[in-house]
Amino acid sequence: MIPAIEGSEVPPLGWRLVLGLGNPGADYAGTRHNVGFDTLDLCAIRLGLTWQREQNVLLAEIPEARCTLVKPLTYMNRSGVALRQSWLHYELSDPSQIFVITDDFHLPLGGLRIRAEGSPGGHNGLASIEEQLGCQEYPRLRIGVGEPGRNSVEFVLTTFSAAEKDVIEETLMTSSWIVEDWVKGVSLEDLQAQYNRRKPQAGSTGE
């Protein structure tokens, strides 16, 4: 379990982490399981950030916002190990200081759901994070990647089809805006009101 910093209280605007879940390596690039990575990549490009490797993670710091984008290199099932490393490095003290971006095959393709807490729902990356935190109360954005059918393990490791391209591109761009708003300090309640949806709005684009 991740320890709290001894004698500390939760700072209202202390250093924060955005953890985008995924698997490292070319074999997993563009897969449904990697939408967390893809969301942070869009943020990094738009903000002109550079990724730096630190042991089990890739980091892109936003010093003026006291926030760091984090991509675990531990593979999905050990995402909590990467979180623990960054948690201790930045001396975090409360789960509200992290924002996790993850895929969700329980949501239709293009669906977005921001929550302040919740169960892993069968997601091994979230289960690993919960194991390290010792709780389920941490902010997260779930990105709908479509219905898996009978084999969810194989499904999340597939890439998106040509027919799904426009929807997922818009969804990832919108997800990156959500991350930027959270980094700026927009409340979860306001993010939920603006962005939560079961499917993309008709005619929406990533521009």
Residues designated catalytic: 33
What does the block give as tokens for 14? 């202390």
> CB of 198 within 8 A of CB of 111?
yes
Q: Which residues contact 23 (CB under 8 A, 6 or more apart)?
A: 31, 33, 34, 75, 76
Q: Which residues contact 193 (CB under 8 A, 6 or more apart)?
A: none
Q: Which of 78, 93, 105 is nearest to 19 (CA)?
A: 78
